Amino acid sequence: MYLKNNPGATPREIADALGISLNLVRALLRKLRESGYVMKSSRGGYVVRITKLHEKSAEYRVEEGETIDTGRGSKSEVMVSDMASELRDLIKKLMSEIESLRERVGRIEYEINILKKSLQTSPNLRRHEAPSEVKVKGKEGADDKLLEELKSRKVLSIEEAKSLTYKSLESYITQGYAVPISNYIVLKEFYEEVKKKFPIKVTEVKSLTNEERIVLDAMIREGMVYLHGGREYRLIE
């Protein structure tokens, strides 16, 4: 409601106006952006996303469900809005296809390297036997180094995780193996266990394991957690 009445407001302005912490404002804005309710303006602030309701003069629908009159619903503006929406959908589709191609290229390069190493260690291997005799590793399962490390250590930095796999980290996230938080990749099962510990009192932080503290700090940086009353950390649901 504040953004509807004050389009272009910055997180700091919102925090000051509503009397809540800046971290909480940023966390809420992130969730609203992911849900499609607000968007970032070209000047750095935030505005409510407005979509066309139907072919009436200048009547629009805020995605929360409230009807408002913008006062400037010309056909040209509607066309520009529709074109922008189509472009965004097209960009998302292209990014998804690029990610898929990147993963396929990475898999091919990985398998080629495995074949080269196998041929180097087996000089007597006949050429026509090479493709069928060489076992290619790196698939999901026991030979997946990233999954093995995640299950063992629970938390890895993104850079280290990338060095352990030829695939994109996005594939591990979409398949439910891991969760990205700040600069870390966290085993999904471990992340769910940490969430069950909330609310966490400040006095209990020292009793957490090193991995649990890393996850807690990362969640605080991402605005997923806030300090309530200076006494305990609570999840932002």
Same domain, 21 and 43: yes
Q: What is the CA radius of gyration of the chain?
A: 25
Quick: pLDDT tens for 6-31. Answer: 988 999 999 999 988 989 998 999 89
3-state SS class at 231: coil
| Residue 10, pLDDT score | 92
Same domain, 116 and 202: no
* Number of domains composing the chain: 3
Range of the domain at 130: 90-136
* Cα–Cα separations (whole angstroms), residue 111 to 38, 58, 122, 126, 208: 44, 58, 16, 18, 41
| Residue 186, pLDDT score | 96
Residue 85 lies in a domain: no
Same domain, 166 and 226: yes
Residues of the chain scoring pLDDT < 70: 50-82, 117-143
| Residue 58, pLDDT score | 41
Quick: pLDDT tens for 171-200. Answer: 899 999 999 999 999 999 999 999 999 999
| Residue 234, pLDDT score | 93
Residue 126 lies in a domain: yes
| Residue 43, pLDDT score | 76
Same domain, 159 and 230: yes
Residue 211 lies in a domain: yes
